[in-house]
Amino acid sequence: MEKNALAGDTIPRPKWRKVAYGGRQIGYDDNYTDESFLEEMVMNANVVRRDLLKVMRDSVSISQYLCIVALVVLVWVHTLESSLDENSLLLLDLSLLASGFLVLLLTEEKMLSLSLLLRYVVNISFFTTGLYILAPIYQTLTRSISSDSIWAVTVSLLLLHLFLHDYSGSTIRAPGALKNPNLTSCISLNASIVASVFVASRLPSRLHVFAVMLFSLQVFLFAPLVTYCIKKFSFGLHLVFSFALMGLTLYSVYALHRLFFVLFLVIVVLVNVVCPYWLIRMQEYKFEINGPWDEAKLCFDITD
């Protein structure tokens, strides 16, 4: 009896194996791990090492769109102060529309066809006609609301627009794009349109309202598409266009008010220089551990 007990004690345990499914292994606890468990540990496997110059180049898109929104606000201010009449606004609208189509033709000639161009023209014709018909409604829409409330809501909507805007893509689907704009881009676009309606409701005439609404919608709808096509066509041309736009915006803001110029210049420097530098410095503190305890990830796409 004693010999049998000693013989049972000397029977070796089966070798432990790391299995995801298969039940409990005899002779081992459920949470048992051997010395090889930490051999597959990897430090910072998915951490992207960023280059300061590349991050600064990527941040130019943000500054570019900030300048576009600032120019829209400047046009609003000059229109409200009656220093920009409706005829000048309509001429500006036609110039922006023609230049936008020219850029699309030059940068997306492989994607744009004559039929697609004609469809764009027909859609814009219906769009401008409907906008002109609705202009009297926009003019009297907020008559019972105080101007202070209108300006506060307008500023809040513009900030929401800038916060949710997709700076890496287009507000509307670009020719040849595989994905539609995401939900936050749609919310950002709606916020800018409502802000435009609030500003237009404080203008004196129907033609003023139509010109300002057409200008605002052209910029908020089609300017991201135009800049996206320029960037996809040539990154160097994108940088030249962006810096020229920054110079024009800084000059226009300086002509309006010195304090606003200093504030806007600080924002541009913060976006293009300070924030990229902070991002690079914060990479030193990024710490990620991967190992056999991570959840399994599918390595194939399911296309049903």
Q: What is the pLDDT of residues 79-131, one digit of tens each?
A: 988 888 888 899 998 999 888 888 877 877 666 566 767 777 788 888 888 88
Buried-state track 216-234, b at ≥16 Cβ within 10 A, e below 16: bbbbbbbbbbbbbbbbeee
Measured at the CA of 112, the angle between CA 106 and CA 118, to 5 degrees, comes to 110
Runs of H (alpha helix) within 81-205 = 86-107, 114-139, 147-164, 183-200
Q: Read off the pLDDT of each residue in 236-249 and give the average, rounded to a whole number.
A: 92
pTM: 0.77
CB 167 within 8 A of CB 271: no
- Closest of 131, 120, 103 to residue 214, by C-alpha: 131
Cα-based distances in Å from 224 to 27, 171, 217, 227 = 65, 6, 11, 5
The two beta strands, 289-290 and 42-43, are: antiparallel
Q: What's at 148, amino acid-wise?
A: D
* Token output for 261: 């110029």
How does pLDDT run across 16-37, given as a tens digit for each residue?
Answer: 666 666 666 666 766 666 766 6
Give the pLDDT confidence score for residue 304 in this predicted structure. Answer: 47
Phi, psi of 43 (to 5 degrees): -100, 130
Q: Using alpha carbons, select from 107, 109, 72, 108 the residue that is nearest to residue 92.
A: 72
